[in-house]
Amino acid sequence: MNNSVISIQNLCVNYITPGDPVKAVNDVSFEIQQGEIFGLVGESGSGKSTVVQAVLRTLPPPAVITGGKVIINNKDILSISNTEVLQYRWKQISIVMQSALNALNPVLTVREQIEDVLKEHSDLKGKAAEDRTKELLSLIDIDVSRLDSYPHQLSGGMRQRVVIAIALALMPPLIIMDEPTTALDVIVEREILAKIIELRKELGFTILFITHDLNLLLEFADRVAIMKNGRLVELDKAQKIRSGGKHDYTQKLIRSLPSASGPREKGLLPKPKSLVLGDQPILEVQNLSKSFYDSGIFNPMSIDVVNNVSFQVFPGEIIGLVGESGSGKSTIAKLITRLIRPTSGDIFLKGSNLKISEARRVPLEYRKQVQMVFQDPFGSLNSVHTVYHHLARPLLRHQLIPEQKLFDYINEMLETVGLRPGTTFAEKFPHEMSGGERQRVAIARALSLSPDLIIADEPTSMLDVSIRMEILEIFARMRIEKNLTIVFITHDLASARYLADRIIVLQHGSIVEEGIAEDLIQSPKEAYTKQLIKAASPGWLKSLSFKNTKEKDVNHV
Amino acid sequence: MDNNQDSIFTRWIIGILRNRKAITGVVIIFLFIFLAALGPFITQDPTAFLSTPLSPPSWEHWLGTNGQGQDVLAQTISGARQTLLVGFTTGIMVVLIGALIGGISGYYSGRIDDFLSLLINVFLVMPGLPLMVILASWLPPGPATLTGVLVLTGWAWNARVIRSQMMTFRSRDFVSAAIVSGEHNIRIIVLEIMPRMLSLLASSFIGASIYAIGAQVGLEFLGLGDVSTVTWGTNLYWASNDMALLTGSWWNFVPTGLSIAIVSFALTLINFGIDEVTNPRLIAERVWREKIPIDTVVNGITPVVKDHE
């Protein structure tokens, strides 16, 4: 085992609390071989990022490394002096962080940020440093003319490339990538990953790749380790993991997200046998537009976020609005729920008797009929109130349930969404529940008013992959049981395919394509839809061409 | 049916009671309030001429007498009455007005906010101290005038802070969720957002109270209060008039001065305590420092403590 780049042996990390310490990483051991891509997968709280930060010794208080060895170059990082720690950082190991906007300093140019690393850790100065900086930019396919750009002038994908360039600056043998593409749109994510793999072939460094997305990792990793609750539950070659692995948890992760292409898997998310759309739409959106104004005195600007969008939603169907960030899908959700007013266009609920888009004050009746489930279940629940309060307030406001029956009704609603026993959950505060449980409460709140229409804005994207399916199943079941109509907003084509009957694809605030879910997946008409489908299907990496990436990024700006 | 308000208050009160700093502060403040309330029953008459002027501490007069031969201990204890009353009343009013104007301004954007922001800004740019002096000397002296002047010159900053905090909460999902469920705006502000701002409101109250006690004593020291009443400010005013410092009769001003300092210190302790109770990270970091060997604590490098339990 001489050619291992890093060897982690029995690593333990505790978080110190006033009570017993929390074991964030518990006896984790693995080695990474020269030149391989080693994947570390786990959900939030699994300890995967803690492992990485322990290796760099950058964990903030209240963390303490309580045991184990981290051997790089025959040296144990955990027993060397503090000055040596500073020396090995970046020279031996560098890291690419999740959010490129946070990793880059907004007031320094790209050139200054790269040269800063060179100045701090190497002898390169002046012309030599500039040459090296240019070389690094060309490696990551960014034009040299962007050297003096500030981070905000670059697209998300370009920013992430710059962060990669900084990580490459000293050519360390090992580069850690901690969720490097999670904040990016699917198509850009795929491009960045392709670039990383191409660079690795060219330059031969080793990658420790951290992610929550096992299916993504299986596309390119050589070996994969799976963490859960601070322990390593499985470590094997990627092929072995792909074919199911040994641990139950591995299988759960693999099955957590269906594919956007190929034949539809049976048994996932029940749909009604036949869907007959009525003549009368429950919701009609006509020529809806929304612009945001920046009413500056010197250069007033307006940005069209939603542009002339029209669609109909029929009773009892689930319609999927699919788009990347900036496609205007969340703005449409806010317009339909009238959290914001449209610039122009009409929204009708149940025919033409309610023209909600123009009303100054939204009628209470409309508030009862249209409910919303938000993306972030922690943000959409108020941390100072119990679950009971969250469900009771709307019911009291609309006087749907007599007060003496309120308790039983709330109990019943909680059990409907799988929170059993409901009486126990009713007394809990948001912080006492897991993300999935919180989102169930949010769904119960939306359902409790027996609305005609539910707008679900990315209801699973903040949740761990293994529980996303369970949440989607609640929607599928409620639709059948309560004949609910749902507008399901997502960036993930695959989950839209499985949950929705019809899909509308959005880009830059306009509708690109619209159709029956399965038809649209099997035979997309527009190029953009094809691209989205391809990016969300297994095997995308091999089919990706490496040449065009440079031109695309220049067009981004 | 709604017992959740209780539970956040309960959690808070338990937290405060368990916090060493906060509980020390609370005990001191309650001690002063207790003494102030019982003052007239346990001390001699503070306004009566009892003994030789400027006599030093003795068994008869524990803290001596002032230039008029009045008992200093009695004056200090009854002085606490009006001073604390005016201080805390001002604190409460500043927070109430700040929450009302700042809260409404931050919640409703647009014209309402434009108008109220303008109002806040006007009061912010007014020079507080001269205004205070002018108003206090022009209006009939007394506790009501003092409170009014202090509130008028002190509310704007709090309103400004509460407005900003309200604006960040306004855009949170839980507020959107309440709007979508049809909740009234006023209920959203009072029931959903205000409990989240409790720590800000509490520390605003404490900050405003400290300010009010200080400013009030200052105004009275300058002779702008009602000099015939007994307060900490007038105590100092008379001590200065009687040239206590020159004559070396320290017992004339030290008790009152010390009381003011101790009350401000206790209020500051409570403020620290509230900070720690509402921001668990502060406690976590302190506990962390206590539980690991001191030589392993280095900024920016995670400590390694083998076999730590």
Structure tokens at A123: 């002898």
pLDDT at residue A352, as a whole number: 56
Residue A334: partners with Cβ closer than 8 Å, 6 or more residues away: A340, B176
pLDDT of B203-246, one tens digit each?
899 999 999 999 999 999 988 888 888 899 998 998 888 888 88
Residue B131 is assigned to a structural domain of this protein: yes
Q: 């392993």: which residue's tokens?
A: B296
For residue A426, give the chain B residue with the closest CA: B4
Structure tokens at A43: 């959900």
Inter-chain CB proximity B305 and A59 less than 8 Å:
no
Chain B (207-266) residues lying within 8 Å, Cβ to Cβ, of chain A: none
B302 interface with A at CB cutoff 8 Å: yes
Contacts of A51 in chain B (CB under 8 A): none
Are the C-beta atoms of residues B189 and B156 closer than 8 Å to each other?
no
Q: What angle do CA A250, A252, A257 make, to 5 degrees?
A: 115
What whole-number percentage of chain A has pLDDT above 90? 32
The C-alpha atoms of residue A5 and residue A92 are separated, in whole angstroms, by: 9
Inter-chain CB proximity B173 and A374 less than 8 Å:
yes
For residue A18, give the chain B residue with the closest CA: B287
pLDDT at residue A414, as a whole number: 94
The C-alpha atoms of residue B289 and residue A529 are separated, in whole angstroms, by: 54
Structure tokens at A341: 């007013």
CA–CA min distance B294, chain A (Å): 13
Size of interface A-B (CB pairs under 8 A): 126
Nearest neighbour of A67 by CB, restricted to B173, B191, B306: B306
pLDDT of A451-505, one tens digit each?
999 999 999 888 888 788 889 999 999 888 888 999 999 988 888 988 999 999 9
Residue B164 is assigned to a structural domain of this protein: yes
Q: How is chain A split into domains, by residue range?
A: 302-541
Contacts of B283 in chain A (CB under 8 A): 18
CATH number at residue B53: 1.10.3720.10
Residue B28 is assigned to a structural domain of this protein: yes
Residues in chain B: 309
Nearest to A347 by CA among A356, A338, A339: A356
Res. A552: pLDDT tops 80 = no
Q: How many CB atoms lie within 10 A of CB A50?
A: 23
- Domain A302-541 architecture: 3-Layer(aba) Sandwich (3.40)
DSSP H helices, B139-192, are 143-170, 173-180, 185-187
For residue B185, give the chain A residue with the closest CA: A361
Structural domains of chain B, count: 1
Instruction: Tell me the pLDDT band of A390, cut-offs 50, 70 and 90.
Output: very high
Instruction: Tell me the pLDDT band of A553, cut-offs 50, 70 and 90.
Output: very low
The C-alpha atoms of residue A125 and residue A132 are separated, in whole angstroms, by: 10
Inter-chain CB proximity A364 and B181 less than 8 Å:
no
Q: 């001073």: which residue's tokens?
A: B83
Residues of chain B short of pLDDT 70, as ranges, are 1-8, 307-309
Instruction: Measure Cα distances from B103 to B111, B114, B211, B214 in Å.
Output: 14, 13, 22, 27
Residue B200 is assigned to a structural domain of this protein: yes
Nearest to A219 by CA among A551, A557, A537: A537
Contacts of A372 in chain B (CB under 8 A): 176-177, 180
Interface test with B, best of A53, A81, A393 (most B CBs within 10 A): A393
pLDDT at residue A333, as a whole number: 93
Tell me the mean pLDDT in the region A135-158: 87
Instruction: Measure Cα distances from A216 to A182, A219, A257, A323, A539 in Å.
Output: 11, 6, 11, 19, 10
Instruction: Measure Cα distances from B122 to B53, B119, B125 in Å.
Output: 48, 5, 5
Contacts of A429 in chain B (CB under 8 A): 7
Contacts 24+ apart (CB under 8 A), A250-256: A250/A214, A250/A226, A252/A466, A253/A41, A253/A214, A253/A226, A253/A465, A253/A466, A254/A214, A254/A215, A255/A469, A256/A214, A256/A215, A256/A465, A256/A466, A256/A468, A256/A469
Residue A435: partners with Cβ closer than 8 Å, 6 or more residues away: A44, A377, A378, A462, A463, A464, A467
Tell me which amino acid residue B222 is. Answer: L
Q: Which helix (H) or strand (E) holds B123?
A: helix B111-125
Interface test with A, best of B198, B304, B305, B309 (most A CBs within 10 A): B304
B289 interface with A at CB cutoff 8 Å: yes
Which residues make beta-bridge pairs with A503? Answer: A320, A515
Q: Helix, strand, or coil here: A419?
A: coil
Tell me the mean pLDDT in the region A146-174: 88
Nearest neighbour of A389 by CB, restricted to B4, B284, B285: B4
The C-alpha atoms of residue B233 and residue B236 are separated, in whole angstroms, by: 5
CA–CA min distance B38, chain A (Å): 38
Residue B236 is assigned to a structural domain of this protein: yes
Domain that holds residue B246: 4-296
B309 interface with A at CB cutoff 8 Å: yes
Is 0.95 topped by the overall pTM?
no
Q: Helix, strand, or coil here: A488?
A: strand
For residue B179, give the chain A residue with the closest CA: A339
Instruction: Tell me the pLDDT band of A119, cut-offs 50, 70 and 90.
Output: confident
B168 interface with A at CB cutoff 8 Å: no
Instruction: Tell me the pLDDT band of A411, cut-offs 50, 70 and 90.
Output: very high
B195 interface with A at CB cutoff 8 Å: yes
The C-alpha atoms of residue A218 and residue B268 are separated, in whole angstroms, by: 56
Residue B305 is assigned to a structural domain of this protein: no
Nearest neighbour of A62 by CB, restricted to B178, B287, B300: B287
Torsion angles phi and psi, residue B225, rounded to 5: -95, -170
B185 interface with A at CB cutoff 8 Å: no
CA dihedral A227, A228, A229, A232 (to 10 degrees): -40
Are the C-beta atoms of residues A44 and A178 closer than 8 Å to each other?
no
Are the C-beta atoms of residues B290 and B303 closer than 8 Å to each other?
no
The C-alpha atoms of residue A518 and residue A260 are separated, in whole angstroms, by: 10
Q: Give helix then strand counts, H and E, for chain B.
A: 13, 0
B60 interface with A at CB cutoff 8 Å: no
B111 interface with A at CB cutoff 8 Å: no
Inter-chain CB proximity B309 and A57 less than 8 Å:
no
pLDDT at residue A555, as a whole number: 39
The C-alpha atoms of residue A238 and residue B114 are separated, in whole angstroms, by: 60
Structure tokens at B240: 């200065």
